[in-house]
Amino acid sequence: MITIRVLPVLARHVVRTMPWATLIAGCLAGTALLVLLTYVADRDHQVLSPGVVRLGFLPAVAALAFVPRDPLRQLTQAAPAPAWLTSAGQILLAVPVLAVTCWAQLRLVDHTGPQRSALYPLLGQLTGWCALAVAAAACCDRSRYADLGGAVAAPVSLAIIALAWYSPGIDRLLLTPPASAHAETLAWYAIAAAALALGATALRDRWHRYARVLRRS
Amino acid sequence: MNMPAATRTGDVGRPGLTGAAPARPLRTVLSLAGAEAALLLRSMLVLAGLLAGGAVVWRVIWTSEPVWWNAAWQIGYGQVILAASVLAAAQLTASRARRDGMRELYDSFPVSAATRTLAHVAALAGVLPATVLLACASVALTQARGVIGTPSPAVLAAGVMLVLAAGAAGIALGTRFAHPLAGILGGMVLFVLFTQSYRLLAYPALGGLPWLFPWTIPDQLGSLPGPLAGYPPGGAHALELAGVALLAAVAALMVTKGGTRHRMRLAVTAIVAAAVIGVSVAAQLPSIPTAALNRLFSAAANPTAAQHCTTAGQVRYCLYPGFDAVLPAFQAPVSGVLSQLPVRPAPVLTIAQDTSLALDDPPLTHGHTRAQMDRWNAELQVPPPSTATAPAIYVTEGDERAARFALALGTAEWAVNLPAENSPVNPAGACVALDQAREAIAIWLAITATHASLTRGPGIQAVLVHDTQVVVWIYPGEYDNYTSAPGPQTTVAGLLLAKAMASLPEGKVERVLGASWPTWLNWHTTDAQLAAALGIPMPSVPVPASPLPPGTSPPAQAQNPLCT
């Protein structure tokens, strides 16, 4: 059992091992892209749709794939506190950073604030993307690609997002249009829940799945 | 952990840390490059990029009627995906030593950092099989699709150069930034430059110069009746990408330490690369010659003068030279509709290929005077002489299924006397065949001719006709303007009745229609009368979510005319 006394120590460890630079670099890169697109659109008197935020949020999703990683996992597993607490804490710390990024990007694209009917599916979609990135990162961290971590998880997350975006058939459920805003929102939150469940299972897994090493031995 | 740069050093016969005399640099570079190239080619990122690129090319080529002057650039879509993944993989390769915290170990080897970086650059040859395979497979797919024209080797080579340039940029990135996110962000920048080029081009300083982007295809390229020299300039663009690849390789090597000779060589190579880029950019800047554009706009303004026409049955098909292979695709939906008519209309119908060319395209017209643009605009505004005397449908190439359905529907609407395109009945907006049996008959004819599986689609969209809200049906490809002018606005009531008709035996419907064909063509004959004659109930039509409050007078501009 974890006692209250452990929490400050644990929090310090989580904050110190959190890849702040990576996460903030990803968030800033996407926001910088949106600043550029907004500037160009303003010069040409075009109106950017809130959907452009999806593009600007992709670098943040890629950066999030580097977050749930404990470089001292082998050591923390030997400690009395559960090893998954570090990664879970890192993910929790990333949430406000991502939320601020999303808010800033939405304000950039639409100064008056997007309509709720367009906002809910968008937020659902971005939440789903983040959950997919976390799940991919957690699974990669338990695989033989653990050393590369986010370098594998980020492309995997982006590939899944591209699949959902462009696959004929799937887009009927996950993109508005053809899906209705309500259906899209529900679908993405369902995906987010499933991805988080998968990610939690992977984080709690105490064993490394080094398939190639096992075969060689 | 992969350490090919270390292990391969031993492979060429020299112990890594014993201080033996270094081998000749060229042999060392080639040996290391071979090992790195094999790793790069086997990289999961590169293989995934190859698969994704192939899927993108398949989707783009297979769903449209390809013409080589456009398809060769579309193959580049797949190369862009592969290039993004190669960029990320190359960054991982070049940053391996620092990322793994092994820089000191690598530095202790007899092979210098400059040699290792040069080997990484040379290892880009490892992705050549992947990019060439993608290009060749795409060419084979396009040929199998029945493409028009001949491919441009320069454009295909530009696609290969794009991948190599992205790989060199990845190595340059990896020598400076060890974190893997740098490579992923680099790949994203390439992707954004590709997908958002149309937005960025709106910036005045970039207007009219899309060729300078890594990969951009002008919107109207697929609509041209033939290749247009310099639109886009493929050879010069391939040269520009080669220059970028060389400059990126120099940037990668600049980080490494070296003597004066090393610096001088790099400086000279950088100057050569900059010169190549400068020359290629200069070659892409000139505007397209006036004579070539005169010919193009003349062919677009008066298609029948430039096209070859053949008559089959009562239909005259007019196509631009070289497009003969498209004829069966045009004939199938038209014949399918006409074969089901109890009585064929007397006049000969002309189905003509259309370019839908627009002057609002800076890459096409940049560098030309306003007066010249006005002359071309005036030429394009004049309707073709044939439309004044005979009914004609102008068809633009596009997504095969949607374009065929649009052609079939246009033919069917003509056959049931619905106001044809270019009709004076509908000068402002599309007319609506409100509660007219002939609309359902037209949609049924199009469905049976193309075997289309149609849905009402999400949401409810309504227009006002004589102060009555009518729920409209946006048919597949309606917004893509496959036919040159909009026909009547189709309604959901017409679609649902047509689908109910399609579920009946064809013979039964044909008998009912044939028994009193002139009655069905009368615009006073209602959907209910048709349903009663066929013995089917009238389908229920969805109600708009927010009807106008009682007593509210709709704005005048919201009214659509009734088709008569």
Nearest residue on chain A to B92, alpha-carbon basis: A151
CA distance B281 to chain A (A): 23
Hey, are the CB atoms on B459 and A33 less than 8 Å from each other?
A: no
Hey, are the CB atoms on B203 and A33 less than 8 Å from each other?
A: no
Please tell me which of the candidates A66, A148, A180 has its beta carbon nearest to residue B458: A180
CA distance A34 to chain B (A): 11
C-alpha–C-alpha distance, residues A150 and B184, integer Å: 10
C-alpha–C-alpha distance, residues B478 and B522, integer Å: 25
List the beta bridge partners of residue B472: B461, B491
**B397, B357, B361: which is closest to B381 by C-alpha?**
B357
**B276, B249, B412: which is closest to B337 by C-alpha?**
B412
Kind plus residue range of the DSSP H or E element containing B468: strand B468-472
Task: Give chain B positions within 8 Å (CB) of A49.
Answer: none
DSSP notation for B324-362? GGGHHHHHHHHHHHHTT-SS--SSPEEEEE-----S--H
C-alpha–C-alpha distance, residues B443 and B222, integer Å: 28
Task: Give chain B positions within 8 Å (CB) of A43.
Answer: 202-204
Kind plus residue range of the DSSP H or E element containing B471: strand B468-472
List the beta bridge partners of residue B470: B463
Cis before A178? omega within 30 = yes
Nearest residue on chain A to B52, alpha-carbon basis: A159
Average pLDDT over residues B95-110: 83
CA distances from B24 to B109, B260, B488 (A): 15, 19, 77
Three-state DSSP at B259 gives: coil
DSSP notation for B100-160? TT-HHHHHTSSS-HHHHHHHHHHGGGGGHHHHHHHHHHHHHHHHHT--BS---HHHHHHHH
Would an 8 Å CB–CB cutoff place B101 in contact with chain A? Answer: no
Residues B393, B317 contacting (CB under 8 angstroms): no
Would an 8 Å CB–CB cutoff place B192 in contact with chain A? Answer: yes
A-contacting residues in B 403-462 (Cβ below 8 Å): 457-459
Q: Is the dihedral of CA B362, B368, B370, B373 positive or negative?
A: negative
pLDDT score at B77: 92
Three-state DSSP at B49 gives: helix
Task: Give chain A positions within 8 Å (CB) of B192.
Answer: 33, 55
* CA gyration radius, chain A: 19
The burial of B480, by beta-carbon neighbours within 10 Å (0-12 exposed, 13-18 middle, 19 or more buried), is given as middle
Q: What is the pLDDT along chain A (217 residues), one digit of tens a residue?
A: 556 777 888 888 888 888 999 999 999 999 999 998 888 877 777 777 767 888 899 999 999 999 987 777 777 777 777 888 888 999 999 999 999 999 999 888 876 555 666 788 889 999 999 999 999 999 888 887 777 778 889 999 999 988 888 777 776 777 766 677 788 889 999 999 999 999 999 888 876 665 555 454 4
C-alpha–C-alpha distance, residues A79 and B162, integer Å: 50
pLDDT bin (cut points 50, 70, 90) of residue B23 is low
Average pLDDT over residues B23-51: 88
Nearest residue on chain A to B202, alpha-carbon basis: A44
Residues B77, B234 contacting (CB under 8 angstroms): no
A-contacting residues in B 479-518 (Cβ below 8 Å): none
A/B interface, count of CB pairs below 8 Å: 72
CA distance B420 to chain A (A): 30
Residues A114, A52 contacting (CB under 8 angstroms): no
Place of tokens 């190639």: A212
Task: Output phi, psi for B350, to 5 deg.
Answer: -105, 125
C-alpha–C-alpha distance, residues B300 and B379, integer Å: 9
C-alpha–C-alpha distance, residues B280 and B240, integer Å: 5
pLDDT bin (cut points 50, 70, 90) of residue B385 is low
Hey, are the CB atoms on A26 and B203 less than 8 Å from each other?
A: no
CA distance A5 to chain B (A): 35
Three-state DSSP at B194 gives: helix
| Residues ≥6 apart with Cβ < 8 Å to B249 | B121, B168, B171, B172, B269
Place of tokens 């031995």: A217
Hey, are the CB atoms on A62 and B188 less than 8 Å from each other?
A: yes
| Residues ≥6 apart with Cβ < 8 Å to B318 | B303, B304, B307, B308, B309, B350, B351, B352, B353
pLDDT bin (cut points 50, 70, 90) of residue B411 is confident
Domain ranges (residues) in chain A = 6-216
C-alpha–C-alpha distance, residues B532 and B525, integer Å: 12
Hey, are the CB atoms on A166 and B59 less than 8 Å from each other?
A: yes
pLDDT of residue B119 exceeding 70, the answer is yes
Which residue type sits at B289? Answer: P
The burial of B257, by beta-carbon neighbours within 10 Å (0-12 exposed, 13-18 middle, 19 or more buried), is given as exposed
Task: Give chain A positions within 8 Å (CB) of B190.
Answer: none
pLDDT of residue B492 exceeding 90, the answer is no
CA distance B203 to chain A (A): 6
CA distance B183 to chain A (A): 9
Task: Give chain A positions within 8 Å (CB) of B90.
Answer: none
Which residue type sits at B357? Answer: L
Kind plus residue range of the DSSP H or E element containing A112: none
Read off the pTM: 0.81
pLDDT score at B210: 65
Place of tokens 């990289």: B43
Domain ranges (residues) in chain B = 4-12+29-286, 298-558
Cis before B232? omega within 30 = yes
| Residues ≥6 apart with Cβ < 8 Å to B220 | B357, B358, B361, B364
**Strand B349-353's sheet: what is its strand order?**
B308-312, B315-319, B349-353, B392-395
CA distance B476 to chain A (A): 12
Hey, are the CB atoms on A55 and B195 less than 8 Å from each other?
A: yes
Residues B346, B380 contacting (CB under 8 angstroms): no
List the beta bridge partners of residue B353: B395
Asked which of B60-74, B93-107, B167-181, B458-472 is least confident by mean pLDDT, the reply is B458-472
Nearest residue on chain B to A177, alpha-carbon basis: B458
Hey, are the CB atoms on B48 and A66 less than 8 Å from each other?
A: no
Would an 8 Å CB–CB cutoff place B180 in contact with chain A? Answer: yes
Residue B108, Cα to own-chain centre: how many angstroms? 51
Calculated CA dihedral for residues A145, A148, A149, A150, nearest 10 degrees = -130
Task: Give chain A positions within 8 Å (CB) of B195.
Answer: 55
DSSP notation for A115-132? -HHHHHHHHHHHHHHHHH
Task: Give chain B positions within 8 Å (CB) of A213.
Answer: none
Nearest residue on chain B to A163, alpha-carbon basis: B52
Please tell me which of the candidates A58, A150, A166 has its beta carbon nearest to residue B181: A150
CA distance B211 to chain A (A): 18
**B77, B222, B58: which is closest to B140 by C-alpha?**
B58
Residue, of B497 and B213, whose pLDDT is higher: B497
Give A167's Cβ-side CA count (13 Å radius): 11
pLDDT score at B383: 61
Interface of A with B (CB under 8 A): 22, 25-26, 29, 33, 36-37, 40-41, 43-44, 46, 55, 58-59, 62-63, 66, 147-148, 150-152, 154-155, 158-159, 162, 166, 177-180
pLDDT score at B415: 85
pLDDT of residue B355 exceeding 70, the answer is yes
Residue, of B260 and B546, whose pLDDT is higher: B260
pLDDT score at B422: 47
What average pLDDT does chain B have? 81
Which residue type sits at B360? Answer: D
pLDDT, tens only, B157-204: 999 999 999 999 999 999 999 999 999 999 999 988 888 777 776 565
DSSP-assigned letter for residue B1: -
pLDDT bin (cut points 50, 70, 90) of residue B102 is confident
pLDDT bin (cut points 50, 70, 90) of residue B423 is very low
Place of tokens 């740069």: B5
The burial of A170, by beta-carbon neighbours within 10 Å (0-12 exposed, 13-18 middle, 19 or more buried), is given as middle
Hey, are the CB atoms on A43 and B202 less than 8 Å from each other?
A: yes
Task: Output phi, psi for B338, to 5 deg.
Answer: -65, -30
Nearest residue on chain B to A27, alpha-carbon basis: B185
Calculated CA dihedral for residues B469, B470, B476, B481, nearest 10 degrees = -70
CA distance B171 to chain A (A): 16
C-alpha–C-alpha distance, residues A86 and B427, integer Å: 68
Hey, are the CB atoms on B181 and A55 less than 8 Å from each other?
A: no
C-alpha–C-alpha distance, residues B309 and B299, integer Å: 14
Task: Give chain B positions within 8 Å (CB) of A59.
Answer: 185, 188
pLDDT bin (cut points 50, 70, 90) of residue B13 is very low
C-alpha–C-alpha distance, residues B252 and B94, integer Å: 9
Hey, are the CB atoms on B457 and A178 less than 8 Å from each other?
A: yes
pLDDT, tens only, A39-79: 887 777 777 776 788 889 999 999 999 998 777 777 777 77
Hey, are the CB atoms on B202 and A25 less than 8 Å from each other?
A: no
pLDDT score at B339: 87
Place of tokens 């697929």: B222
Task: Give chain B positions within 8 Å (CB) of A58.
Answer: 188
Treating both helix axes as pointing N-terminal to C-terminal, what angle do B44-62 and B128-144 enclose, rounded to 10 degrees? 20
pLDDT bin (cut points 50, 70, 90) of residue B404 is confident
CA distance B375 to chain A (A): 26
Residues B136, B55 contacting (CB under 8 angstroms): no
- Residue to test with chain A: of B188, B200, B203, B546, most A Cβ within 10 A: B188
Hey, are the CB atoms on A155 and B45 less than 8 Å from each other?
A: yes
Residue B454, Cα to own-chain centre: how many angstroms? 24
Residues A189, A124 contacting (CB under 8 angstroms): yes
Kind plus residue range of the DSSP H or E element containing B311: strand B308-312
CA distances from B4 to B79, B86, B92 (A): 27, 18, 13
Treating both helix axes as pointing N-terminal to C-terminal, what angle do B437-450 and B527-534 enclose, rounded to 10 degrees? 60
Task: Output phi, psi for B319, to 5 deg.
Answer: -130, 150
pLDDT of residue B394 exceeding 80, the answer is no
Q: Is the dihedral of CA B2, B4, B9, B10 positive or negative?
A: positive
Task: Output phi, psi for B483, to 5 deg.
Answer: -100, 145
Task: Give chain B positions within 8 Å (CB) of A33.
Answer: 192
And the tokens for A132? 């997919």
